[in-house]
Amino acid sequence: MADVKFLKVTKKFNENVILNGVSVEIKDHEFVVIVGPSGCGKTTLLRMLAGLEEITAGDIHIDNILVNNIHPSKRQIAMVFQDYALYPHMTVEENMSFALRLMKMDKREISARVHEAAAILQLTKLLKRMPKQLSGGQRQRVAIGRAIVRKPKVFLFDEPLSNLDAKLREEMRVEIAKLYQRLNATIIYVTHDQVEAMTLAGRIVVMNHGIIQQTGTPIEVYRKPDNLFVAGFIGSPTMNFLHGKLSAEGEKLFLKNDSLTLYIPPFLLADGARNAGREVVLGIRPDDVLVGSGTRENCSEKIEGVLEVSELLGHRENLYIKAGENRVLATVEAFFNQSPGSKVSVRFNYRNMHVFDKKTQQRINN
């Protein structure tokens, strides 16, 4: 097992910059999920690590060895592809043993490794089948099995679950998590699905426009997003954003826009007077929008609004509320017994509020 280092890795296609100086260090035995919208360069980064894509500039190290010009098979990695890439003309067993056979490994050793991996993945009965005869989930497991038998230093997963239906995806997610505990290997996992990122990762790397936006544990990324992009990308349903201008009245700081004036307490944003006049965006997760009239500690004043739509999800309910010109989504316990058009009042929880500078998009509270 080994650590992986990216040093100012850059990728250009003609004049298009896909990756712009990505630097990240991945420690031994770490499960790192690289997440971002499609086209953010995450898959390119993974493919460069695998040696399938040329590196325009920068260095990639695996286990402190520079691998920029090393053949994919010599990098001690294994990769699980988005479309599985099972060789259609080989049986499951042949698929799994292909790499080992190419290494001219001893036949008994090959068979032992394949059967061990098959047992882990419950594929033993399917070893003689062709990929065509397998279901989506089974193919996925074969693809993982093909990676396991090689005992690589690093596992690379390229959106492995995106071709599965919702239910199977959840199952496989759990299986991958179990597998990680069992293998205790370095895993780099690329996905566009933030739920997978949150549930699987030991550490999340959020990317956008070829740049790393934030690196951290799932909790860090969720609780303290570094910028507006991360705030909006991580978390479901999406965070509420209130745009406005800070203005000071005496000692007190307020966020003001056309239809809203909101007190900003000093524990949220210190140095109030210095920030006066700044254009900011306030971020509040739907869970932190409290509906009802009762007061609670560390909450804002009541804000009156009108319920536009309510969506029942089961044990939770999404309320789409319009307060003046601001639209706010609140997630509350079911059942919220009011019909659209009725008046509701909401409060915001200051403890979990995020303040971003509108121009730089960076977080300014701590």
Partner 1 sequence: MNKEAAVYRRKKLLKYLLIHAVIITVVVVCVYPLLRILSISIRPGDRVISTDLSLIPSGADFAAYLRLLKDTMFLRWLWNSLIITVVTSFIGVSLASTAAYAFSRFKFPGKKSGMILLLSTQMIPAGMLILPLFLMIMKLGLMNTYLGMIIAYSVSSLPFSIWILKGYYDTIPRSLEEAALVDGTSQIGAFYRIILPLSTPALSIAFLFNFTTAWNEYLVARVVLFSAKQYTWTLGLFELQGQYITQWGMFAAGSMLVTVPVLMVFLYSSKWLLSGLTLGSVKG
Cα 258 to Cα 104, 228, 244, 303, distances in angstroms: 73, 22, 8, 14
Burial class (CB in 10 A: 0-12, 13-18, 19+), 261: middle
Position 102 contacts partner 1 (CB under 8 A): yes
Judged by CB under 8 A, the number of residues near partner 1 is 23
Distance of closest approach, residue 331 Cβ to partner 1, in angstroms:
39
118/353 with CB nearer partner 1: 118
Position 178 contacts partner 1 (CB under 8 A): no
Position 50 contacts partner 1 (CB under 8 A): yes
**Which residue matches tokens 């520079």?**
66
Q: Site for partner 1 (CB under 8 A): which residue of 14, 38, 71, 342?
A: 71
Rounded Cα–Cα distance for residues 205 and 216 (Å): 7
Position 70 contacts partner 1 (CB under 8 A): no
Q: Site for partner 1 (CB under 8 A): which residue of 23, 52, 124, 313?
A: 52
Rounded Cα–Cα distance for residues 76 and 55 (Å): 18
Which residues in the 144-163 window bind partner 1 by CB under 8 A? Answer: 146, 150
- Strand 57-62's sheet: what is its strand order? 16-26, 4-13, 57-62, 65-66
What DSSP string runs through 80-147?
E-TT----TTS-HHHHHHHHHHHTT--HHHHHHHHHHHHHHTT-GGGTTS-GGGS-HHHHHHHHHHHH
Distance of closest approach, residue 123 Cβ to partner 1, in angstroms:
17
Which residues in the 274-303 window bind partner 1 by CB under 8 A? Answer: none
150/169 with CB nearer partner 1: 150
Angle in degrees, 0-180, between the axes of helices 107-120 and 92-102, rounded to the nearest 10? 130
- Stretch binding partner 1 (CB under 8 A), from 44-52, 117-125, 292-300, 355-363: 44-52
- Strand 31-35's sheet: what is its strand order? 77-80, 154-158, 186-191, 31-35, 203-208, 211-216
String of contacts with partner 1 for each residue 321-350, x by CB under 8 A: ------------------------------
Residue 151 CB partners (closer than 8 Å, separation 6+): 113
- Stretch binding partner 1 (CB under 8 A), from 87-95, 173-181, 211-219, 247-255: 87-95
Position 87 contacts partner 1 (CB under 8 A): yes
Cα 94 to Cα 75, 126, 292, distances in angstroms: 22, 12, 63
Position 130 contacts partner 1 (CB under 8 A): no
Distance of closest approach, residue 262 Cβ to partner 1, in angstroms:
51
Position 65 contacts partner 1 (CB under 8 A): no
- Stretch binding partner 1 (CB under 8 A), from 43-51, 219-227, 241-249, 330-338: 43-51
* Interface with partner 1 (CB under 8 A): 47, 50-52, 71-73, 77-79, 81-83, 85, 87-89, 98-99, 102-103, 146, 150
